[in-house]
Amino acid sequence: MLNRRHIRVKILQLLYSKSAADSKPSELISEYNKRSKNFFRLFISKFLLFEKLYHEFLKKEKIISKRNFENDSSSLKNIVLNNELLIHFKNSSTLQKIKKKYEIDIWDNNVQLIEILFNEIFNSDLFNDYKNLKALDFDKRKKFVVDVFKKIIVKNDLIYQLYEDSELEWIDDFPLVNTLFLNYLKAFNIDKKNTIPIKIFNDKDDKKFGSELFKTALKNDKNLDKIISKFTPDWENDRIAVVDLIILKMCVNEFLNFPSIPVKVSINEYVEISKNYSSPESSNFINGVANNIFKYLTENNQIKKNDRGLQ
């Protein structure tokens, strides 16, 4: 679930917190575990939102059909109630188990918002466009869910505000989680087994990677400062943007202390992270400094990579 880039971002946030306040490492590791769990809870909340919306559409379809609005009732069935992707969410016992385990009750406690979303979707031009299609197959029904998510759910201010009020760090996670969920929707295939992720981390190695990245960055902080200062002669380290300096430290830390991670992977990851979490000029600055440090460390035989790290 949480991939290595997400983990790096989480550690970046923690190291930034450490620079802003003198928190104990043990407290920050605990915070890292909490934030990782909340990231997963936010991700699963996306599935549960559509599961909740399905039930709302089901309830409204019964009301509409009793009022003899046959066309509207028929379109609800064709587009939503017969939607294979939404039925998958509705019938998933795994999803309900995760909901219970991680106590994700955000939509149970905001029924009125579900009703508002139903009305927005049902009365939208988007829904009308799908209603006017001559034939609906699996691909079109899946695309309907994708379009609803991209054009209505993601842009809804009430949902954004609810997330912000529920968990402070969810706003930082919002773009990453939306991308992950959108990728899940697009990859859904009726002819294959579609499992809902049940773990916060992909595997034990990823879980260990986060804590080791944090601990080694703290342990080697002075040495990392010393190395970086050699390659920023026009900038004292306390004049470099805090986020840029932390990103550089994390990158060099991976050069030195993570033998299975190729140097190019580390540089590319932190350059991409800097594009989202620092200034527009930072990616070029970090790319240049990191490459120069890599050459220096290589010439001084300080980088030791195993077979995997040399790929």
Which pLDDT tens digit goes with each residue over 87-101? 999 999 999 999 999
pLDDT at 13: 86
Query: Higher model confidence: residue 266 or residue 237?
Result: 266
Residues 35, 164 within the same domain: yes
Cα 246 from Cα 221, distance rounded (Å): 10
Cα 229 from Cα 237, distance rounded (Å): 6
In a domain, 78, yes or no: yes
221: CB partners within 8 A, 6+ apart = 249
Residues 92, 229 within the same domain: no
Residues 8, 90 within the same domain: yes
In a domain, 239, yes or no: yes
Nearest to 210 by CA among 10, 42, 24, 31: 10
Q: What are the start-end ranges of the H helices in 167-306?
A: 170-187, 204-219, 221-230, 242-257, 263-277, 282-299
pTM greater than the 0.75 cutoff: yes
Domain finish residue from 129, 162, 187: 187
pLDDT at 95: 96
Residues 233, 183 within the same domain: no
What's the average model confidence in pLDDT over 129-153? 95
pLDDT at 72: 63
In a domain, 283, yes or no: yes
pLDDT at 70: 52
Domain finish residue from 141, 169, 187: 187
Tokens standing for 275? Answer: 């594009």
Query: Higher model confidence: residue 167 or residue 169?
Result: 167
Pick from 55-59, 213-217, 233-237, 264-268: least confident:
233-237
Residues 182, 236 within the same domain: no
**Structural domain that includes position 257:** 221-299
Cα 9 from Cα 3, distance rounded (Å): 10
Tokens standing for 192? Answer: 């294959």
pLDDT at 102: 95
What's the average model confidence in pLDDT over 21-30? 78
Q: Residue 132: pLDDT above 80?
A: yes
pLDDT at 33: 87
